[in-house]
Amino acid sequence: MELNVAKMIMLAGGVLVVPVLAFVTSFLFWPGALLKAYNWYWRRRLGLVVRFSHSGNYHFCYSTRGAPGGATPSLLLLHGFSATKDMWLPVVKFLPRNQHVVCVDMPGHEGTSRTGPEDYSIRGQVERIHQFVQSIGLDKRPFHLVGTSMGGNVAGVYAATYPTHLSSVTLVCPAGLVYPTDSEFISRLRELEMGEKDESIPLVPTTIQELEDMLRLCCNTPPKLPRQFPYPHDSLYQHIVGEKSRHSLQENMHLITVPLQVIWGKEDQVLDVSGAAVLQGALPHCQVTVLDSCGHSVALERPRKAAKLITDFLSEQAVSDGNVKKVS
């Protein structure tokens, strides 16, 4: 009898060990696959559906929830360099369930087409995003555009180029400005350009150590998430930081006429928070919020706060629009 009990315990232990070993093996050898499974789970839980839109030979991959035409404008979310549409999952979690949301993979990222260099400049990305907007019919009524980092640069230039398509815009730690104070990232970038240091590009990690360095740079509290190596974005990065794209937002911000919200992490080491004052100086009526104890990755570090700021801003704009209609 005791022997049978011992065998049963060993069998039960074996049943438990197998899935644990499978999980550990997946984490160590297929981190990208594990991350995709994690994102798939959260998309399903949040009610997001992945779809594809085709325009000519170009295709866009995006996730969406809800339908346009609600009480508030649709939200189009643009991610930063080397990220994907799924970086917005923590923020979507805290948005109203009936809010129409669209998160798109930027040109050259994840499921969206990778083409020539012309699509990777900020201006090229603006035109591709406009192509996407038209392909899914988002241009039928004004929508709210949100962009972070590189996506913030694109969102700002988009707002300057296609103001009639937007109700308002939110820029989260946007790239593309001339910052009064150099961040750690900008300082390292200058050293690389001048040939003073022979090392990898800070935002294009190719090893675990370089990834950890990048996460410390981007997040005030770096997350422990599996990532896939190497990043296939080296050439894309070169076009984004090229002379024609580096200060795109700075050169176009005076053309932004729609209501503007700016959100920035006070501890941002990638793009210094002094950029917020640059935008406010050029556009005095913009709404600026600086988050204490937060770095560059606002969507990851302060998703609840980011979602509340955006929804509150949309509500304020709705009230403002209502008052204007009453006066007219």
Q: Where are the domains of the chain?
A: 1-45, 48-324
Angle ∠(233,237,239) on CA atoms, nearest 5? 125
Specify the pLDDT at position 17: 43
Q: Residue 29: pLDDT above 80?
A: no
pLDDT at 46 over 60: yes
Higher-scoring residue by pLDDT: 228, 239: 239
Residue range 208-237: mean pLDDT, rounded? 50
Nearest to 248 by CA among 168, 112, 153, 170: 153
pLDDT of residue 104: 98
Mean pLDDT of 281-297: 96
268 given a catalytic annotation: yes
234 is catalytic: no
Comparing 175-189, 218-232, 241-255, 272-286, which segment has the lowest mean pLDDT?
218-232
**Half-sphere exposure of residue 202: CA atoms within 13 angstroms, side-chain side:** 22
- Of 44-53, 84-93, 104-113, the poorest mean pLDDT is in 104-113
- Measured CA to CA, the distance from residue 218 to residue 212 in angstroms comes to 10
20 has a pLDDT exceeding 80: no
pLDDT higher than threshold 60 for residue 106? yes
The closest of 265, 319, 261 to 293, measured between CA atoms, is 265
Identified catalytic residue from 144, 233, 296, 297? 296
Active-site pick, 86, 119, 268, 272: 268
**Containing H/E element for 35?**
helix 31-46
Q: What is the mean pLDDT of the chain?
A: 81
Check residue 110 and give its pLDDT. Answer: 86
Q: How many CB atoms lie within 10 A of CB 297?
A: 28
CB 313 within 8 A of CB 261: yes
For β-strands 143-148 and 75-78, DSSP reports them as: parallel
The whole-number average pLDDT for the span 281-310 is 96
**CA–CA distance, 114 with 201 (Å, rounded to integer):** 21
Top pLDDT among 159 and 37 is at 159
Mean pLDDT, to the nearest integer, of 102-118?
88
127 vs 212, residue with greater confidence: 127
Whether the pLDDT of residue 233 is over 60: the answer is: no
Q: Tokens standing for 60?
A: 């866009």
Task: Look up residue 5 and give its two tokens.
Answer: 């009990």
Q: What fold is seen in the domain 48-324?
A: Rossmann fold (3.40.50)
User: Which of 46-60, 104-118, 139-153, 233-247 bottoms out in mean pLDDT, i.e. has the lowest?
Assistant: 233-247
Give the SS3 label for residue 33. Answer: helix
Amino acid type, 286? C
Please state, as a whole number, how many other Cβ atoms lie within 10 Å of the Cβ of residue 266: 13
Dihedral in degrees, nearest 10, Cα atoms 210, 212, 214, 219: 180
Instruction: Determine the pLDDT at residue 129.
Output: 97
- The amino acid at residue 108 is G
* Residue 261: φ, ψ to 5°: -115, 135
Which residue among the candidates 53, 74, 82, 149 is catalytic per the annotation? 149
Instruction: Give the Cα separation of 118 and 125 in Å (integer).
Output: 8
296 catalytic? Reply is yes
CB 260 within 8 A of CB 286: yes
Confidence check: pLDDT of 236 > 90: no
Q: Which of 87-96, 167-176, 237-246, 253-262 has the lowest mean pLDDT?
A: 237-246
Q: What is the mean pLDDT of residues 236-265?
A: 83
Query: Which is more confidently placed, 313 or 183?
Result: 313
CA dihedral of 121, 123, 125, 128, whole degrees rounded to 10: -140
Q: What is the pTM of this model?
A: 0.80
